[in-house]
Amino acid sequence: MFYKHLEQFHLLLVLLFALSLTGCASESRLNPLSDPSSSLSSDRRNADGSEDPDLSLEDVEAQGSLEQEMAALRQTGMWDSETSPVTQRDKERSIDTFPLVMNKQVEMYLNLFQTRHRKIYESWLSRSSIYLSLMEKELKNAGLPRELIYLSMIESGYNQRACSPANAVGLWQFIDGTARQYNLDINTFVDERRDAEKSTKAAAAFLSELYREFGDWHLAVAAYNAGAGKIGRGLTKYNVSSFWELAREDYLALETKRYVPKLIAAIIIGKNPEKYGFTKVQKFRPLQYATMKVPPGLSLDALAVVCNTSVKEIKFLNQELRQGKTPPNRPDYEAKIPVAAQEIAGRNISRLHSVVTTGFKSYRIKRGDTLSSICSTYGINKTTLLKVNNLRSKKLTRGQYLRIPYNTVSYQILPEGSKMALAANKSNLILHRVKAGEHISKIASRYNVTPQMIASWNGLSSVNKISVGQQLALYPADRTITTIPGAVTIASLEDDEIGTASAPRSGSDTVRVLTADKKKMSHQPTTVAASSRKNGAIAHAQNKTSVRGARIHTAQTISAQTVQKNISSAQTSRTLSSSTGKTVLANSLKKKSNGNRVKLKDSYSLYQVKDGDTLWTISKKFNVSSVHIKEWNNLKSNVIHPGSQLKVKGV
């Protein structure tokens, strides 16, 4: 019997503990910037966890200041139903007039804003200069009182990315359902509650509807906070007709009660800040922008390069883009750009080029690390990690360093009138994350490889077994060179170099480069000539393309047969070839006297390893020693992988 009761007692303790956790969860408010692994709502984090950290949501108000405010409000005691109008005009009741009244709750907020919350109110006043003209225009168009611009002040502090404990978001603090009701889009890529103009239009429509329902602005703004149903039921239940009468009853939460006197106090000071001691408020430039139709999936980093402005400014103008890029499923998205950048952006957008390269960071193995845990931390698969570290075993040694691959993206504006090509990372590694609707054949076609090669590179048991979110390592043959129509690329393949765009040395044209990865963003102008000297030769082409003296028609395909003919005649030529049949001349080129034949000096070929290849079979194919192949490629063993590229020199 004793054990039976003891078991029941343990069960009761477990239930009580579970209930306590539930209560804590409902009250806990986490900072969305604090812990990336914390459990946040769908409003605070995308389903795929890829929200741009520069555009993440921010808490609408500090907990300490809220507690001060509530304590001061409680000290005012019973709410008075009688109020005195501030001016004669405040006695009017019309849709275009917001009545200002005075009572002890309003006086408390006037005092709070001038004392303990002075810095908070001053920061609100400062940010108001950004949005006042936009909000005044929209409220005037809707026939609403100008004073409602201060509703956004007490709702969000004029912060487009403000988020409340109830997951209301934006300048006007819309919850999800109300936002959708007023045609604001909310999805993985866009949250229009964060769009200043669209959310203000929605707020004006919502407030107009509330005034039509209640015929009183104090009740309308209370309903904006608590909901029309809550206010309507309270008026009926207590048989009252004004907000102040309803506030006397034990019905509304203090959160809603404080809303109206706080708004009135904010309006009174905002109309005449100098009278209340706010004489040195910093002013910001009013929000102005132009719009430009841009392609789907365009990064805001790239748009900043197009506009020749800072990433910070572009992100500020486009805070509704949760992932820092335009939606991939919406062609011709209208992005916001600086007004002064319209002309240059129009010229640059067609000349924007991006190069995805693979960077590596070092990780030192700690006690308890396993291959699986490291792969899970960095979102890569085991086969990729083993391959980039030349590991043949999954056994790890404490203190050992591993190379962890990650993608970086650089954006460049090519000089006007030029046709060039960009040389990418010689390592040939691309990390592709599987998206919804993709299958291995589609991915293989995109990268010009076979499904079987993808399966081999990633240790897949079947070409049909991939899942959304899975990361695949790819080594496509034409990864080494990203071509632009009408151009010929000469790739410099020296160790640990990444080719960048280059052009003729004459003239003042520059290539503007911005590089971004998951860790940092750097922004710097780079001269074309310097880029050419450092990273390899890249041809400038118009009707004909000049490559260090060699003339090749840009419309002509450089076939393997053509290059083989030059090899036969010059004896010292080599080709850079891929399994797709594309051939690009490698290393230093010199023009012969007749201008029609190309000679290569001290060059080599790149051979892409195929399924079934061994160092021995490759050495026989090129009539060289397998020992030499290992030396040229710094191989420590005879292990090679399909899709990788080897330097070879024919005899």
Per-residue pLDDT tens digits for 287-344: 999 999 998 888 999 999 999 999 999 999 999 999 999 998 887 899 999 999 999 9
CA atoms of 308 and 306, how far apart (whole Å): 6
Would you say residue 7 has pLDDT above 60?
Answer: no
More confident residue, 428 or 64: 64
For 358, phi and psi rounded to 5 degrees?
Answer: -110, 120
Report, as an integer, the average pLDDT of 443-447. Answer: 82
386-389 contact pairs (CB < 8 A, 24+): 387/457, 387/473, 387/641, 388/360, 388/429
Q: Smallest Cα–Cα separation from 124: which of 269, 257, 256?
A: 269
* pLDDT for residue 413: 82
Angle at 74 between CA 116 and CA 269, to 5 degrees: 45
The number of beta carbons lying within 10 Å of the beta carbon of residue 355 is 20
Would you say residue 539 has pLDDT above 90?
Answer: no
Report, as an integer, the average pLDDT of 44-60. Answer: 72
Within a 13 Å sphere around the CA of 34, how many CA atoms are in the beta-carbon half?
7
The number of beta carbons lying within 10 Å of the beta carbon of residue 290 is 16
3-state secondary structure of 179: helix
More confident residue, 20 or 584: 20
What single-letter DSSP state applies at residue 602? S
Q: Do domains 290-351 and 605-648 have the same CATH topology?
A: yes
Binned at pLDDT 50, 70 and 90, residue 63 comes out as low
Owner of token pair 């006690």:
367
* pLDDT for residue 639: 72
Instruction: Give the amino acid at 73.
Output: L
More confident residue, 456 or 380: 380
* pLDDT for residue 303: 95
Highest averaged pLDDT of the listed ranges 35-49, 305-319, 475-489, 533-547: 305-319
Q: Enumerate the β-bridge partners of residue 54.
A: none
Task: Decide: residue 68, CB within 10 A, 0-12 exposed, 13-18 middle, 19+ buried.
Answer: middle
Highest averaged pLDDT of the listed ranges 196-205, 393-402, 615-624: 196-205
Q: Enumerate the β-bridge partners of residue 525.
A: 512
| Domain layout of the chain by residue ranges | 59-276, 290-351, 353-545, 605-648
Per residue in 144-171, pLDDT (tens digit) is 999 999 999 999 999 999 999 999 999 9
254-274 b/e (C-beta count within 10 Å ≥ 16 → b):
eebbbbbbbbbbbbbbbeeee
CA atoms of 314 and 308, how far apart (whole Å): 10
Q: Which residues, including other chains, have CB under 8 Å from residue 553's CB and lie 6 or more apart?
A: 544, 545
* pLDDT for residue 184: 97
Would you say residue 475 has pLDDT above 60?
Answer: yes
Per residue in 171-181, pLDDT (tens digit) is 999 999 999 99
What single-letter DSSP state applies at residue 79? P
Per residue in 118-141, pLDDT (tens digit) is 999 999 999 999 999 999 999 999
Would you say residue 283 has pLDDT above 80?
Answer: yes
3-state secondary structure of 645: strand
What H or E segment, with its residue span, contains residue 551? Answer: strand 550-553
Q: Enumerate the β-bridge partners of residue 422.
A: 482
CA 600 to chain centre: 45
Would you say residue 280 has pLDDT above 60?
Answer: yes
CA 283 to chain centre: 29
The full length of the chain comes to: 651
CA atoms of 448 and 30, how far apart (whole Å): 46
Percent of the chain clearing pLDDT 70 (strictly above): 69
Provide the CATH number for the domain formed by 605-648 in this structure: 3.10.350.10
Instruction: Give the amino acid at 392.
Output: R
Q: Which residues, including other chains, have CB under 8 Å from residue 441's CB and lie 6 or more apart?
A: 451, 463
Q: Residue 501 is encoded by which pair of tokens? A: 């765009």
3-state secondary structure of 303: helix
Kindly write down the DSSP assignment for every residue of 515-543, as one continuous string: EE-SS-EEEEEEEHHHHHHHH--B-EESS
CA atoms of 436 and 434, how far apart (whole Å): 7
Owner of token pair 């990690």:
385
Q: Smallest Cα–Cα separation from 276: which of 114, 87, 102, 103?
A: 114
CA atoms of 573 and 566, how far apart (whole Å): 7
**Number of helices (H) and strands (E), helices first, in the chain?**
23, 23
Within a 13 Å sphere around the CA of 78, how many CA atoms are in the beta-carbon half?
6
Report, as an integer, the average pLDDT of 614-619. Answer: 78
Mean pLDDT of the chain: 74
Q: What is the 3-state secondary structure (H, E, C) of 419-457?
A: CCCEECECCCCEEEECCCCCCHHHHHHHHCCCHHHHHHH
Give, in words, the CATH class of 59-276.
mainly alpha
Instruction: Give the amino acid at 207.
Output: L
CB contact at 8 A, 238 and 251: yes
Per residue in 244-268, pLDDT (tens digit) is 999 999 999 988 899 999 999 999 9
Q: What is the 3-state secondary structure (H, E, C) of 146-162?
A: HHHHHHHHHHHCCCCCE
For 525, phi and psi rounded to 5 degrees?
Answer: -80, 145
CA atoms of 441 and 47, how far apart (whole Å): 26
Q: Enumerate the β-bridge partners of residue 411.
A: 354, 514
Q: Which residues, including other chains, have CB under 8 Å from residue 350's CB and lie 6 or more apart?
A: none
CATH of 290-351, one of 1.10.287, 3.60.15, 3.10.350, 1.10.1580: 3.10.350
Q: Enumerate the β-bridge partners of residue 551.
A: 546
Residue 567 gets the label, from left (phi > 0), alpha (psi -120 to 50) or beta, of alpha
* pLDDT for residue 607: 84
More confident residue, 417 or 8: 417
